[in-house]
Amino acid sequence: ELNITDPSHEYLFEPSPSEVLDVMLPRLVESQIYQALLESSASEHSARMLAMRTASDSAEEMIDSLTLSYNQARQAG
C-alpha cells in the first residue's frame, strides 16, 4: 500500500521555491510595467488617430459647405 505521507515519496525541487521566487518576482514586475507602458502607448496612438479622423471629417464637411457657397455665389452673380 502506498503511503503518501512517507518521506521517501517527497519530491526534491531544485532550485528551491524561494530561489525561483527571487528570480521570477522581479521579472513579473518588469513584465507588468512593460505591459502598462505598451498599453499607454497604444492608447495614445488610438486617441491621436481618432483626433485626426475627426479633423479630416470636419475638413471635408467644411470643403463641401464652402464649395456649395462658392457655386451659389458664382451662379447668382
Per-residue model confidence (pLDDT) at position 32: 99
Q: Report the amino acid identity of residue 55.
A: A
| Mean pLDDT in consecutive groups of 10 residues from the start of the chain, 77 residues | 61 82 96 99 99 98 98 92
Q: Where are the domains of the chain?
A: 24-76
Contacts 24+ apart (CB under 8 A), 1-5: none
Cβ within 8 Å of residue 9, ≥6 positions away: 2, 3
pLDDT at 63: 98
Q: Concatenated DSSP letters for the chain?
A: ---TTSGGG----SS-HHHHHHHHHHHHHHHHHHHHHHHHHHHHHHHHHHHHHHHHHHHHHHHHHHHHHHHHHHHH-
Residue 77, pLDDT score: 76
Record the pTM. Answer: 0.61
